[in-house]
Structure 1
């Protein structure tokens, strides 16, 4: 009886075995593979009854998908992962259990890939031209040592990235050559032997100091003006912009180029500056700008135009002369005084002439102390140009602009008045007048005479005849008993002369 029981128990013992997992030899020390490759985790499963198998990745039960497949057969199980990524790195656990027990085994899988983004990316020490970038190594180096970092930037309004360096070994970098007040975006990549990872990108920054440029200097004043320079003095700005003033820039306005030009090559510390090497007798305006680390600030109020000259200098040229009258051998000139007298009184003027067809200016009159001159001794039928020079104690000015050319020729004028007019006969209704020819005919023959009368009780003159050809004329009719005065003018091709007027009135009456 007992023998039978022992035999059955012994038989049942050999029909059941607890699970046992036999990993493939290549998995015993862990499995390392490159990202993108396919890996397999095979295991033989022993035990009676046939154990049930479960794979987990960490604490998560592994299930099949488009990359992961689990193939379970009696006595064997294999996990296949295709197109591996860095996220597949983990400890994989296989568990087998049956009615007799439970067994587990682990496989450490390490997938090597490009590194992750650098950590804690920050930008500091921002200026108008540079900034300082700093970061920590990636939290995931991809399973291989980071060999270097790559730094890139782009303008905020652009989509184009510019590589600043691809060989950065440290976890910091100073970006230079920024444009002041421009907005930039920076990013940093980590690189290992398997490639370049995804970047860490910083929010946009503006290339500018945390403080402002200074305000405008005040009370700019010139002094000590000489022929090639002057001294400028000013007060510092009321506001320094939050950063100490590092220097000043002095600028002058060039009218010929229509722009401001700096007078100093490096910023000056003082609030005074001597400007040298300026062309003499030229007008300039000046201004000053203060500068701090943020750059130059607003300019000061510009000076009025300043004439750069010696305290006493030759005068500027007089104005262009005008020929007011010209005759056969003379000319009458007028001109305006110089815009600047050179710092000394104008002592006189010099006149020079140029004959048309020649190149030699000839000085013909000096010591003229008014702004006009009657020039005699010219040649008939000769064309001339004239120019004027001003003189002060320092010397002579440059010549004025020449006058327009004029031709000397006989000048035609109205004649002078008739002479010796008298009443040679008077009656109750007429008066007979007589006169002699004018002293000068004005260069043109006398063509006629004009006779006028006036009743002394009236103010207005009455023309009697404007076509008289002789040197006498009978005025009629007159009112008997009235007092009359008479006058006569001579006329040529230019026009009438002034009148020759009878001094005393004559009564119209018969004399017999």
Structure 2
């Protein structure tokens, strides 16, 4: 025999490795080792697939390249997701070359699973799945600010000031909402049309002679927190001052 051929059809990357060829004749036996590398689709990315929640609508994914690239460079990754209540997967990103990705547009309160596959020139590899996780904020709404204090009362306005909440809930305070309630009414209504960034606000458009209570709420990325304690009733009227001393009689 001058040569021989062994053909292994439908090989995959698990068929690669060290093969030993034994040759025998009347004079004895000899062996030859052959290292075989099968070119194939890549293996799954090296886990775990880590999910870090940023907010109720966003999360970060991190993973590692496959331990077996199939004999060809990894060109990109495919990311898919599904809700645990469903069976179908939806595409998140069809072509990402990095090993991390920020996912957006999640639905608060939904439970998700992500999966990622590596791609080389021979095709799409096996998927690596994450553990299920619920999309929710890793922080909570802020605690209540201090009770607002009134000053500079006029016939149609008053200045309110307050202290920041003791706890921001783990997320920066985005602003405040100041509310008022007429003594003759039951409903709380907003004093400010836009979110307040300061801890001081002049509330205008009040009815002279009426008495009002005020309260303030803080807001962060998780939502609006609990209201402060209500202020005492403040009567809206022009300030009056004691008369000055008489002038010297003539």
Alignment TM-score, normalising by the size of structure 1: 0.38
CA distance in 2, matches of 1:273, 1:111: 72
- The residue aligned with 2:159 is 231
1:146/1:205 Cα in 2 relative to 1: closer, same or farther (>3 Å)? same
- The residue aligned with 1:153 is 81
1:196 corresponds, among 111, 124, 133, to 124
Q: Is the radius of gyration larger for structure 1 or structure 2? A: 1
CA distance in 1, matches of 2:88, 2:230: 43
Structure 2 gaps of 5+ residues are 182-186, 239-250
How far 1:180 sits from its partner (Å)? 4.2
- The residue aligned with 1:138 is 66
CA distance in 2, matches of 1:155, 1:301: 41
- The residue aligned with 1:94 is 21
What does 1:31-430 correspond to in 2, within 5 Å?
42=5, 79-120=6-47, 121-124=49-52, 126-221=54-149, 224=153, 226-227=155-156, 229-242=157-170, 245-251=173-179, 263-268=192-197, 270-276=198-204, 278=205, 287-292=215-220, 294-301=222-229, 311=237
Assess if the C-alpha contact under 8 Å between 1:214 and 1:240 holds in 2. yes
Assess if the C-alpha contact under 8 Å between 2:37 and 2:71 holds in 1. yes
SS in 1 for 2:67: coil
SS in 2 for 1:273: strand
Assess if the C-alpha contact under 8 Å between 2:78 and 2:116 holds in 1. yes
How far 1:204 sits from its partner (Å)? 2.4
SS in 2 for 1:163: strand
- The residue aligned with 1:367 is none
How far 1:245 sits from its partner (Å)? 4.0
Alignment TM-score, normalising by the size of structure 2: 0.71
CA distance in 2, matches of 1:129, 1:150: 20
Assess if the C-alpha contact under 8 Å between 1:93 and 1:107 holds in 2. yes
How far 1:260 sits from its partner (Å)? 6.1
Deviations 1:141-187 (A, max 9, x none): 12221111122233344434332211211111112233445433222
Assess if the C-alpha contact under 8 Å between 2:53 and 2:135 holds in 1. no
- The residue aligned with 1:363 is none
Assess if the C-alpha contact under 8 Å between 2:192 and 2:203 holds in 1. yes
1:102/1:237 Cα in 2 relative to 1: closer, same or farther (>3 Å)? same
Assess if the C-alpha contact under 8 Å between 1:222 and 1:231 holds in 2. yes
1:289/1:172 Cα in 2 relative to 1: closer, same or farther (>3 Å)? same
Structure 1 gaps of 5+ residues are 1-20, 25-41, 43-78, 313-512
Assess if the C-alpha contact under 8 Å between 2:41 and 2:120 holds in 1. yes
Aligned residues: 230
How far 1:233 sits from its partner (Å)? 2.9
1:196/1:305 Cα in 2 relative to 1: closer, same or farther (>3 Å)? farther
The structure that is strand-richer by fraction is: 1
Assess if the C-alpha contact under 8 Å between 1:126 and 1:207 holds in 2. no
1:94/1:250 Cα in 2 relative to 1: closer, same or farther (>3 Å)? same
How far 1:235 sits from its partner (Å)? 3.5
Deviations 1:267-318 (A, max 9, x none): 41x3222234x486899875422234544322334568989xx737xxxxxx
RMSD between aligned alpha carbons?
3.6
CA distance in 1, matches of 2:35, 2:194: 69
How far 1:139 sits from its partner (Å)? 0.8
Q: Which runs of 4+ in 1 moved over 6 A?
A: 281-285, 303-307
How far 1:261 sits from its partner (Å)? 5.4
